Structure 1
Amino acid sequence: MNLQYLRVFLTVAEHEHITRASEELILSQPAVTKTIQHLEQEVGLELIERHGRRIALTHAGHVLHNYARKVFALEREMEEALSALRDVDAGEITLAASTTTGVYLLPPIVARFHARYPQVSLNITILNSHEIVEETLNWNLDFGLVEGDAAALPAGLQVDVFAHDELVLVVGPKHRWKGLPALLPTDLRVGQLLMREQGSGIREVIEQAMLLHGVQVRPLLTVPDNEAIKQMAMSGVGAAIVSALAIQRELATGDLVRIPIAGLDLRPELSLVKRTDKQLSRAAQAFCALLCPPTEHEERIFDPE
């Protein structure tokens, strides 16, 4: 298969638009259209359907799109691997982190790494844990940092636990629960909790822990942002189970009050995940080594316990 044709097809598929693809490729629209036609003749299948200025992939187009992404991801990995053999002090790392890890744990790691390797470019995205796993498996990340049960992650991933989080129940200073010595899991069953969206590692940890007590949680509100949840809890909208890392200042000032949940252990694992068949660049390996040292004698930034 002609890889140049495939590259043009991938760009068209990503944009779902001939004009935008031609602008990115610096080719004329007729040249892009003709290339797609040549590729369709080569594979013997129709790959796109035209709807005015936009296009839609056929079933065959979706299949080829998935494989094309893998082909060029491998090409980038090959180039990075060869470059990494020349120099660990250069290159690019693409990673994603869950909100808690990205906001509260990643900054000191990035600072230390940047001090050692100032020429390495870091591309960091904040996603929920489900999205990070999906992007890692799709070859879009060198690695990801997720929160939740490492054993529950899908096959095809190498998983290294580098720390544990602690989730705590908090309410605002005027909430009716303030001052209670403790709550039971059943007290949180219906319409009490502000929770993250489905796919969030923290939400999965909470739901799994509650199910062990026979409690299926129905949240008061679903909000895809930790800071928004914290602000709503402070305003008295409802209770929230959040990372202790995210509320240290608010607990100290009294803007949030912690209430124990009897019999509930919420200490999710924080893990580094990458594809088992992905060869990391030396720069990416150096970053991972800050979190998960290869030997017991090397300094570890976070205590995994």
Structure 2
Amino acid sequence: MEIDMNLQNLRVFLKVAELEHITRASEELNLSQPAVTKTIQSLEHEIGLELVERQGRRIALTHAGRVLQNYARQIFALEREMEDALTALRDVEGGEVTLAANTTAGVYLLPPIVARFRARYPQVTLNISILNSHEIVEETLNWNLDFGLVEGPPSALPSGLKVEVFAYDELILVVGSAHRWSQLQEVKPADLGEGELLLREQGSGVREVIEKGLARHNVQVRPLLTLTDNEAIKQMVMSGVGAAIVSSLTVQRELAKGDLVHIAVDGLDMRPQLSLIIRVDKQLSRAAQAFCAFLRPALNHEPELQRVPDESK
């Protein structure tokens, strides 16, 4: 069966699919709710399959709807690539880059890189999201990102991604100045197992590295608290609420001021890898390629990061 599908109708469907709500989709698309409903019904009639089913005020995708959603994402990702390529032919200084980074990279590594990139390419539009590593992988695979920056073992990443490890972070144990461990030189891995650590949420690359690192010492982590923000973890620890294993990048100022104390952990050395991830079948625009080219030299400005050695030398 040959399907002559209208791209505008497909665009409306994708918005409905992403929001799982016809009213919200109509508001974002600046269309009436009946017009959106009619578009979905027209698509279903054209395809000969039901795409959505109502669940109260929300809608859910059928299996056919999920298949169409996946292809629609690819189609509009290619459309964006086409626009970027044509823009590059008119003006190599223009274009748009959409990326996401985990909290450590996004808050502590990217700002100076973005500043230097903007100075060189002021006409390029940057769209940057701060997500956890699991979300970045998902968004990259779903064609919503040009590329992502994640932390954790590349071996755990899906095969559909091209992975370039460009640096190693260092995770350290910190406590507040009034914590009972603050005068110790060192603790044992076993001390960190039961209700001592504040950890990031499941899906965080840093949490995965911590859990695997302690598992090698037969320590199963049971967190005192779980938080979704590095800054919240720092503030809790400085207030005397437990201990935390965090990126050394995130606590340099607090260590220098004495608000936090670095405690060694016997036999525990955790240096998670920072990786650039791209879909293997993704063609980067010139603007995205230029941003990627800024990443490796930018590490010269971050002394706390250990760079991947250049094996060609």
Q: TM-score, normalised by structure 2?
A: 0.89
Q: 1:290 aligns with which of 268, 271, 294?
A: 294
Cα gap change, 1:252 to 1:26, in 2 (>3 Å): closer
Cα gap change, 1:210 to 1:82, in 2 (>3 Å): same
Q: What letter corresponds to residue 100 of structure 2 in structure 1?
A: A
Cα gap change, 1:259 to 1:82, in 2 (>3 Å): same
Whole-Å separation in 2 of the counterparts to 1:210 and 1:130: 21
In structure 2, list runs of 5 or more residues that go unmatched.
309-313
Question: Do the aligned residues in 2 keep the contact of 1:291 with 1:300 (CA within 8 Å)?
Answer: no
In structure 1, list runs of 5 or more residues that go unmatched.
none
Cα distance, 1:79 vs structure 2: 1.8
Q: 1:252 aligns with which of 250, 256, 263?
A: 256
Cα gap change, 1:73 to 1:180, in 2 (>3 Å): same
Question: Do the aligned residues in 2 keep the contact of 1:81 with 1:279 (CA within 8 Å)?
Answer: no
Whole-Å separation in 2 of the counterparts to 1:234 and 1:20: 42
| Structure 1 partner of 2:307 | 304
Cα distance, 1:28 vs structure 2: 4.1
| Structure 2 partner of 1:185 | 189
Secondary structure, in 3 states, of the residue corresponding to 1:292? helix
Secondary structure, in 3 states, of the residue corresponding to 2:187? coil
Whole-Å separation in 2 of the counterparts to 1:156 and 1:176: 46
Question: Do the aligned residues in 1 keep the contact of 2:299 with 2:307 (CA within 8 Å)?
Answer: no
Cα distance, 1:41 vs structure 2: 1.6
Question: Do the aligned residues in 2 keep the contact of 1:291 with 1:301 (CA within 8 Å)?
Answer: no
Structure 1 vs Structure 2 CA RMSD: 2.0
Question: Do the aligned residues in 2 keep the contact of 1:81 with 1:280 (CA within 8 Å)?
Answer: no
Is 2:130 aligned against 1:121? no
| Structure 2 partner of 1:149 | 153
Whole-Å separation in 2 of the counterparts to 1:300 and 1:257: 26
| Structure 1 partner of 2:95 | 91
Whole-Å separation in 2 of the counterparts to 1:119 and 1:48: 40
Cα distance, 1:44 vs structure 2: 1.4
Cα distance, 1:50 vs structure 2: 3.6
Secondary structure, in 3 states, of the residue corresponding to 1:80? helix
Q: What letter corresponds to residue 157 of structure 2 in structure 1?
A: L
Is 2:227 aligned against 1:223? yes
| Structure 2 partner of 1:14 | 18
Cα gap change, 1:233 to 1:53, in 2 (>3 Å): closer
Cα gap change, 1:56 to 1:130, in 2 (>3 Å): closer
Cα distance, 1:67 vs structure 2: 2.1
Identical residues among aligned pairs (%):
74
Answer with 2-11 or 162-171: which moved more: 2-11
Deviations 1:226-273 (A, max 9, x none): 111111111111011011111111111111111100111111111111
Cα distance, 1:299 vs structure 2: 9.1
Cα distance, 1:26 vs structure 2: 4.3
Deviations 1:257-305 (A, max 9, x none): 1110011111111111111111111111011011136xxxx99655514
Cα distance, 1:65 vs structure 2: 1.9
Whole-Å separation in 1 of the counterparts to 2:241 and 2:25: 47
Q: 2:272 aligns with which of 268, 271, 274?
A: 268
Question: Do the aligned residues in 2 keep the contact of 1:251 with 1:257 (CA within 8 Å)?
Answer: yes
After the TM superposition, which parts of structure 1 deviate over 4 Å for at least 4 consecutive aligned residues?
51-54, 298-303
| Structure 1 partner of 2:311 | none
Is 2:209 aligned against 1:205? yes
Whole-Å separation in 1 of the counterparts to 2:119 and 2:57: 48
Q: 2:137 aligns with which of 106, 121, 133?
A: 133
Is 2:61 aligned against 1:57? yes
Cα distance, 1:23 vs structure 2: 4.1
Question: Do the aligned residues in 2 keep the contact of 1:251 with 1:258 (CA within 8 Å)?
Answer: yes
Whole-Å separation in 2 of the counterparts to 1:24 and 1:132: 24
